[in-house]
Amino acid sequence: MQEFKSEQLNTVNNAVAMAEELVSNAYKMSENQWLRRRYDVSTLAELDAEEVVDGPFAQVIRFSGRLKGTSLGSSAYDYYKICLQDHSILAALHDTPGMRLFPLVLYITTHELIHIVRFSKFLQSFDATPEETLVEEKRVHAKTRKILDPVSVSGLNNVLEFYGKWHEPIEGIRAS
Looking at residue 116, its amino acid is I
User: Helical H runs in the chain?
Assistant: 6-26, 31-36, 86-95, 101-120, 130-148, 156-162
What ranges do the domains of the chain cover?
6-167
Give the C-alpha distances (Å, rounded to integers) separating 34 from 13, 21, 63, 153. 17, 9, 18, 24
Contact (CB, 8 A) for 90 and 80: no
Instruction: Enter the DSSP assignment of 44.
Output: G
Contact (CB, 8 A) for 105 and 78: no
DSSP assignment of 154-169, as one string?
A: TTHHHHHHHTGGGGSP
The pLDDT tens digits for 11-29 are 999 999 999 999 999 999 8
Q: pTM value?
A: 0.86
The pLDDT tens digits for 36-73 are 668 999 999 999 999 999 989 999 998 876 666 666 65
The pLDDT tens digits for 118-143 are 888 776 767 777 788 788 888 999 99
114: which residues sit within 8 A by CB, 6+ positions away?
23, 140, 143, 144, 147
